[in-house]
Amino acid sequence: MKRATVLVARAVFPEVLARLSQHFEVEANPDDTIFGKPALAARLAGKAGAFTTGSERIDAEVLDANPQLRVVANMAVGYNNFDVAACTARGVLATNTPDVLTETTADFGFALMMAAARRMAESEHFLRRGEWTKWSYDMFTGSDVHGATLGILGMGRIGQALARRGALGFGMKVIYHNRSRLAPEQEAPIGARYVDKAALLREADHLVLVLPYSAASHHAIGAAELALMKPTATLTNVARGGIVDDAALAVALRERRIAAAALDVFEGEPKVHPDLLTVPNIVLTPHIASATVATRRRMADLAADNLITALTGGRPPTPINPEVLREGRLAEKTPRA
Ligand code: GLV
């Protein structure tokens, strides 16, 4: 039987490419070029599957140019780069990589939150500039993390992992807001208290964002929300750019309406709002919350597992739109070479 052809849209671990090559004809992207929409649509010609990352946008236009495409496997837990409804309408299976990155991402979110609270980046920059000439009682005084109130917006897997760190490791009080409330047996071990969004903003000493990006969460934190926060509070975003209004955040930081922020994700990344680059009270990292060698490898392997199983008649471990499988529409698609 003729082997299916797949596109691996970005550079990835050679071992994962080798695994995929055992099953498919693989078109790789060793130069790691970022394909804009027309280039991506053209590269997908003749491909039954695609291994993507957050930088590839899969929408109706790309799908309509490639009616032979059957599976898009994202190497990320977030999938706002996919138009899932458009995939489902065309019988294209979409998959992501949940679970394998939960603890690693929570580690990083907690580290960023601590870095903002204790002014680590700001004080390091001061030291590197050669401005440290003496110790003083109020130099870079921040706010405590232990015993403080941790606010979590979005209480999925990563939110709960952060809550465990805060409650069990640092004696923090945990409050959260989410579309749905956790079951009492999930709230109890971490003492998590469900509050409305305004209360979350008002009461949190350290607010961490871990909700998915969608039209509904666009600018969930803007000028009005920042105005509700304590002037001593910190804001950390390890979710997605666009959830925070970056321009409004820069103003709030400059005017010390909140104490500090830590961002791993940005509106329009890899571009960063220029005002965020000049405010001192911020920690900035280039979308690396899941970036440990082991976790990135697990993510790549899971994306590959999804692609392999979906295209060889197996059960993909982490489908986003499993209705495509249930309705048997994936199998109906005739792969075209
Ligand atoms: C990273 O941002 C992811 O969604 O996995």
Query: Any bridge partners for residue 7, and if so which?
Result: 27, 50
d(CA 34, CA 24): 22
- 78 with 107, same domain: the answer is no
One domain for residues 136 and 203: yes
Are 299 and 277 part of one and the same domain? no
Q: Which residue type sits at 305?
A: D
Strand partners, 71: 49, 93
- Cα 173 to the center of its chain, rounded Å: 24
Residues 270 and 179 in one domain: yes
Q: What separation in Å is there between the alpha carbon of 128 and the centre of ligand 1?
A: 31
182 to 153, 187, 202: CA distances (angstroms): 13, 6, 21
Torsion sign (Cα): 11, 311, 82, 221: negative
Q: Does the beta carbon of 153 lie inside 6 Å of ligand 1? A: no
Q: What pLDDT is recorded for position 337? A: 42
Q: Are residues 269 and 326 in the same domain?
A: no
Q: What share of the chain is helix, strand, coil (3-state, %, to 5)?
A: 40, 15, 45
Q: Whose CA is nearest to atom 1 of ligand 1?
A: 76
Q: Residue 293 C-alpha to ligand 1 middle, in angstroms?
A: 15
Handedness of CA 55, 33, 299, 284 (dihedral sign): negative
Is residue 59 situated within a structural domain? Answer: yes
| Cα–Cα dist 236/227, whole Å | 16
d(CA 335, CA 99): 30
52 within a domain of the structure (yes/no): yes
Residues 74, 201 within the same domain:
no
**Is residue 175 domain-resident?**
yes
Q: Are residues 78 and 205 in the same domain?
A: no
76 lines ligand 1 (CB under 6 A): yes
Looking at the structure, tell me whether residues 151 and 109 fall in a common domain.
yes
In a domain, 337, yes or no: no
Element holding 25 (H helix, E strand): strand 25-27
Q: Are residues 109 and 96 in the same domain?
A: no
- Whether 166 and 274 map to the same domain: the answer is yes
Ligand 1, atom 4: closest residue by C-alpha: 78
Mutate to test the pocket of ligand 1, among 101, 210, 296 (most ligand atoms within 8 A of CB): 101
From 262, 284, 306, give the residue that closes a domain: 284
Total domains, the chain: 2
C-alpha to C-alpha distances, 52 to 7, 8, 243, 274, 304, nearest whole angstrom: 8, 7, 22, 29, 10
Q: Say how many Å lie between the CA of residue 52 and the centre of ligand 1.
A: 12
In whole angstroms, give the CA distance from residue 266 to residue 241.
4
How far is residue 231's CA from residue 198's CA, in Å, rounded to a whole number? 15
Give the other-Cβ count within 10 Å of 98's Cβ: 19
Give pLDDT, residue 2.
84
Q: How far apart are CA 27 and CA 6, in angstroms?
A: 6
178/260 same-domain check: yes
pLDDT at 336: 45
Residues designated as active site: 240, 269, 287
Domain of 17 in residue numbering reads as: 5-100+293-332
The pTM assigned to this predicted structure is 0.96
Instruction: Tell whether 131 and 267 lie within a shared domain.
Output: yes
Report yes or no on 184 lying in a domain: yes
Low-confidence ranges of the chain (pLDDT < 70): 1, 334-337
Tell me the CATH number at 231.
Answer: 3.40.50.720
